[in-house]
Every structure is written in structure tokens, then in C-alpha cells.
Amino acid sequence: MLIAGNWKMFKGPAEARSFFESFEQPDGVDVIVCPPFASLAAAVESGITTYAQNVHWEPTGAYTGEISPPMLRELGVHGALVGHSERRQLFGERDEAVARRARAALEAGLGVIACVGETIEQRESGDTELVLTIQVEAIAFAAGTYENLVLAYEPVWAIGTGRTATPEQAREAHAFIKGLLDRPVLYGGSVKPENAAELLGQPGIDGALVGGASLEPDSFAAICRAAAEL
């Protein structure tokens, strides 16, 4: 079971170090933290497996604001998120770019958590499987053979909204994704200590990508303990 915490644009180095002083990682679960770029070094220092929140596909170049796989490796970072819904929705990242980022990171020896998921409009119009097929197949074509690839199903309508997919909705989506690409699949979308055990206990759910609840040591540890107990 894998639990990854995506801190988004929260916690500078000082706050990150304070978090790690309080966080106790339980045995029996793999834990990843994904801090902002400014706090990557502090996370690496903690000894907890650290992923960046994004990565570019080129090793060097005129790409202002981006960071490359070799740079992450030099920092001691183990991997990167790619394709998070906020990158897709707010910054216009398309499936091709997500796939290229994933492949470049994996080729450089990094792990990757590649995010896929539908908006509420797409779900209500019955297009969930179509959207997931397009997103997953782009990743599969570019990087599907790499062992260090993990997928994360994050229904966009359940991110930062307090809404959560029902266990049945999550189970169905995970089964569909695995039918397209047989890789571990995390669930992401308002995972909290209160619902973690029920969600993580569903067949085909291999862990969680946690947002807001990963920002507090106690709540993140509680989710990790729920995973370790399953």
C-alpha cells in the first residue's frame, strides 16, 4: 500500500522541517511526500521518500520555471507527480505533455505518479470512461512498460471540494483503469482519516494520493496507519 501526500503550494522549508519533526511513519506502508520545489531539499533531508510535483521532459534548456529529471536526481528526489488535475485545468497541460514528462522521468530512473480523472461535467454526461481511456492510453503508449510507473485516479470534482467518490465509484474507476494499463492505481480526491479505511479497503485501490489531509502530521499519519492495517 502506497500513501503519497501532495502539499501543493504549501509549506516552505521551515514549515516542512517542522512537519517532519512531528510526523511518525508507521511500519507496513510506503509513504511519499510531494512538497513544493522550494522544500524538496528539506524533505530529502528527512529521509522520507520525496517526489516533486512536476518535471520537464528535457534534461536542460530554455524552459523558464521548469525543472529537469537530472536536477531532481541530483537533489536526492526519488520521483515526480505528472498530470495532476490542477496542472491540466489551471496550466493547460495536455495528455501529450503529461506523457512526455512521465517518460522522461522514468527514463532518468525516477518514479512517477501519473494522474488521471474526469470533471463533474464529463461524469454527468457519461464520458468518464472515454476521458480515462484517452488519458491512460497516452501515458501507456509513452511509458506503460516502466515498473516505476504508478497511476492515480483523481476525480476532479472531488479535489479540494470535500466531495469524495463513493467506494463503488472508486472501485469501478480503478477496475476500468487497470483494464487499460495494469499498474498500481492510487485514489485521490478528498481522502481523510475518516474515509481512508473504507476507500483503501476496496479491491483494486492500491493506496491514496492525499491533498489537504497530508498537510498536518497527525491526519497524514492516521491515513498511513489505516493503510498499514489493511
Local confidence band at 213 (pLDDT 50, 70, 90 cut-offs): very high
pTM: 0.96
pLDDT confidence of residue 189: 86
pLDDT at 94 over 80: yes
What is the structure's pLDDT at 190? Answer: 86
Tell me the CATH number for domain 2-229.
Answer: 3.20.20.70
Position 16 pLDDT exceeds 80: yes
Residue 84 known to be catalytic: yes
pLDDT at 204 over 90: yes
* pLDDT at residue 165 in the model: 83
Q: Which of 56, 84, 93, 118 is catalytic?
A: 84
Active site residue 45: no
Among candidate residues 86, 93, 118, 154, the one labeled active-site is 154
Model confidence at 31, in pLDDT bands (50, 70, 90)? very high
Q: What is the pLDDT of residue 163?
A: 74
Q: What is the residue extent of each domain of the chain?
A: 2-229
Question: Is pLDDT of 161 > 90?
Answer: no
Q: Is the pLDDT of residue 164 over 80?
A: no
Lowest mean pLDDT among 42-51, 89-98, 132-141, 156-165: 156-165
pLDDT at 159: 76
3-state secondary structure the chain: CEEEEECCCCCCHHHHHHHHHHCCCCCCCEEEEECCHHHHHHHHHHCCEEEECCCCCCCCCCCCCCCCHHHHHHHCCCEEEECCHHHHHHHCCCHHHHHHHHHHHHHCCCEEEEEECCCHHHHHCCCHHHHHHHHHHHHHHHHCCCCCEEEEECCHHHCCCCCCCCHHHHHHHHHHHHHHCCCCEEECCCCCHHHHHHHHCCCCCCEEEECHHHCCHHHHHHHHHHHHHC
Residue 133 above 90 pLDDT? yes
Output the pLDDT for position 21: 97
